[in-house]
Every structure is written in C-alpha cells, then in structure tokens.
Structure 1
Amino acid sequence: MHIVLVLVVDSSTPAVTAALVEVADHGVVMRAQRQAVDAKAHGELLAPAVHAVLGEIGAGPRDLDAVVAGLGPGPFTGLRVGLVTAASMGQTLDIPTYGVCSLDALGRAAGAGRILAATDARRKEVYWAAYDGGARITEPDVDLPGSVAERVAALGVTGAVGEGAHKYADVLGLPVRDEPMYPPAAALAELAAERIRAKGPSERLTPLYLRRPDAVAAAGRKPVLR
C-alpha cells in the first residue's frame, strides 16, 4: 500500500488552516491540524501553523509528497497568503500542488441533501454555491444574501453551512448547521485525493476572487500641490 504525506492549507476565510494528511489507496487519514480564526492575521498565522503540524508528527518539509490549497473564493489579501505559501513550498520542494474550491470542501462535508455553502464576502455579500449530496450544482458566485435566497429556493435547497450562512441566516431563511463553519482540511484533501493517487501533474493555483480586490492602484498620478 502506497501512502503519501500531504500538506493542506486554506486561508479563504477568517480561519487560517494547516493540516497534514496521509493519502492512501483506501482513503485519507488526518495526522495533525491547526486552525486559528483571525481575519486580519493570515500572514502571521499560517507559517507557524505549518511548522507546528510538521513538528507534531516529527516530520520536515522534505517529507512532504504534495500540497493541497483552498482556492477560495475569498477576500484578496487573505486568500493569496495560502496560495503563495502552497506555491512557494511546491516549487522549493519540487512537489506537486493541487487546488480545490474552498466552498466545495464545505459542501462535501455537509453530506446528504441540497445544501447552500456560504462564506462571508464582506460588503454585505456572501460567496456561495449549492450542493446536492456533496456535489456542486451551481458555479461559485458572490451575491447579496437576498439574491442568494431567491436562487437557492428555486433549486430546492433545504439547509446551509458556513460562516456566511450563519451571518445572514435571517435573510437566507434556511436552517443553518453548526458545522462545518469553515472549509475542513480533511474535505479539501479528499477532493484532491484522486489526483494525488494518480500522481497528477502540479496545478497552477489560480485564486477564485470573483470580484476586484478591495484595494486597487490609482488610475493616474495626482498633480502635485504647491
């Protein structure tokens, strides 16, 4: 039986996640995990979390066989921390990187039924997608909660998961499950497991921003005041 050690990272939400999993022929086994919730400290928290999970099992970066990263959707600044970390480690260690839509991890972990997975997109909006039995049935999108409520009602969605669903539960009008609140590392790994087992080629980690960054460069120079 062939077993590979995989680092999983996700910074698409206020939860900064790093985990180590073993991917074998029979499934995915969690070895170590760290998660801290702080929307303003992704850059400060992720590297120590990676170091901590490696140390917990007595492993080093050179023991890794692959890296899995949550692609979002998520706010620009936080999301790129995880993707840059994953891409840099993949290049430095010469190991493949694989990307997974972070909403898909929420949807997979939610399990049976037609479920809305929603995360907080700020600006009074949510990133969202709908799932049936863990399989995505809509493309990831960003909308006002009221618009999402109308769209998922037409799809027969009966429940919701995720931080965004909790925040706007009154508008969405759906029963919201306590968990998962944030994209689970185990689900991210499971969604990439087939590619890992097949030793698929390394993937470019393209972020799902779905809209322009909050901060943009000025269109032109302002005249100097005298």
Structure 2
Amino acid sequence: MLVLALDTATADLVVGLAEAQGSEVRVLAESVEATRAHNERLVPTVETTLAEAGRTFADIEAVVVGCGPGPFTGLRVGMSSASAFAQALGVPVHGVVTHDAAAELIDAPSALVVTDARRREVYWAYYADGRRVAGPAVCAPGAIAVGADEVDVLSVPKHLASQIEIPARETAYVVPRTAGLVRVADLHAEPAPLVPHYLRRPDAVEPKAVPRSPAIPDVHLP
C-alpha cells in the first residue's frame, strides 16, 4: 500500500511516501523542512516527493496525517490538505497523534516527547514500554508531570531543553517522520473523522458587552 504521510503540527514540515506491507514500512521518499511557510510549501513538497519516488497522485492508496497537538494554523494546513487529497483521490485518510509518531521512532523503555506550544508553553506526552501513558497535554515547561523521576529519552527542541526539569538519560529532538506516522496508523481499520488536538482555547473571544453611553439619546421611532 502506497501511503502519503503529512505532518504540520511542529516547526517541521514533514512529507513522505512509504510502502506499507503489514508491519513493514519502507520509506520511498521524504522531505523534512524547518519552515514557517507550511501553507505555501506543502503542496509543492508533495509534488516533489512524488517525483523523487517515481510515483504519481494516482498511485496513492491512503493518506496519514498528524493531528497534533499543535497550533491552530499549522494543524489546519496539514489536516485540510490531507482531507482534500484523500477526497480527490477516493482513498482513506487516517489521523494520528503527532507525538505518537515521534515516540514510535524512539527505542527506549520510556520517553517524554515535547514540542513547542509557544506562549511560554509546551505540548507533551509520556510513553512507557511503547505505550502512551500520559498526555498529550499542554502546560508550562516546568509543570510537566509524568509520574517518573527520570525518563530514558527526552525528545525536545534544543531551545526548550534547558527549561524541562525532568532528568533524562538522553536528550535529543526526534522529528515525527514518515516511518513513525505510518507505523502508528491503523491502515486497515475504518478511518475515524479527523480531530485536531488543539488542547487549548482559541485566542479569539467574544467581546464583552459595553454599557450604552448616557450621551447617546434615546430615539423613538413612530
């Protein structure tokens, strides 16, 4: 099965093509680009990745997309594009937790996966023996509570590493790449509706009611 994998939940734009046969996943082509221009770069990157693999859109049999946690704008780009590709091609689209995809690439008894949520917060999820046992959640870097004194691997962007107070045997940043995205997707199950993991309320709020100024006279129409 040829799978198109997308993730726009982090500062990296991940686009890849993989052949999935049972539990085996073979990546044919992949692009991992640090960029803020996910919206402008996604479709051209998909086209380039297909060309590198010697495939066309018609060859795609399923789409997998990371559903966060991540910022609203980033998730919207990836998830809406994945849905559009799947609908146009008549293939299923499977949503996965972005942090699960990163954790899938970590070979360790326990792992803490952290990404930047901006506004002095982070998204995080904790894994033990290959299973997610806490999160995904959002909080200040110093408020992560995983119920462990130490983790084997801490995956965190470099600029946030010094802010995480939980000790780890190894610290590195693991990108949620194609292999991880495809492995955590249940490609043979009926796909569920895509649900974005925003984890916090949107910035926009309804304005508060403002009392009417006494300087404005009442107007009574006949």
TM-score scaled to structure 1, two decimals? Answer: 0.85
Q: Which amino acid aligns with 2:181?
A: L
Q: How does 1:116-195 map to 2 (within 5 A)?
A: 116-148=112-144, 151-152=145-146, 154=148, 156-163=150-157, 166-173=158-165, 174-175=167-168, 176-180=170-174, 182-192=175-185, 195=186
Q: Which amino acid aligns with 2:196?
A: P
Q: Residue type matched to 1:188 in 2?
A: L
Question: Per-residue CA shift, 1:17-73, capped at 9, x if unaligned?
Answer: 1100000135000000011111x2110111111111111122111111000000100
**Which structure is larger by alpha-carbon Rg, 1 or 2?**
2
| 1:15 correspondence with 2:7 | no
For the pair 1:205 / 2:201, whether they are aligned, the reply is: no
Q: Which has the higher helix share?
A: 1
Alignment of 1:39-54 (within 5 A): 40-54=36-50
Greater percentage in strand: 2
Aligned length in residues = 209
Distance 2:192 2:93 in 1: 6
- Residue in 1 that maps onto 2:111: 115
> Over aligned residues, Cα RMSD in angstroms?
2.0
SS at match of 2:108: coil
Instruction: Extract unaligned runs of 5+ from structure 1.
Output: none
Q: SS at the partner of 1:13?
A: coil
Cα 1:26–1:110 change in 2 (3 A) is closer
Q: Find 1:37's aligned residue among 30, 34, 37.
A: 34
Amino acid at match of 2:146: V
TM-fit CA distance, 1:221 = 9.4
Structure 2: which 5+ runs fail to align?
213-222
* Aligned equivalents of 1:155, 1:201: Cα separation in 2: 39
Deviations 1:69-120 (A, max 9, x none): 0010000001110000001111111100001100111212122122110000
* One-letter code aligned to 1:185: T
Identity of aligned residues (%): 37
Q: TM-score, normalised by structure 2?
A: 0.87
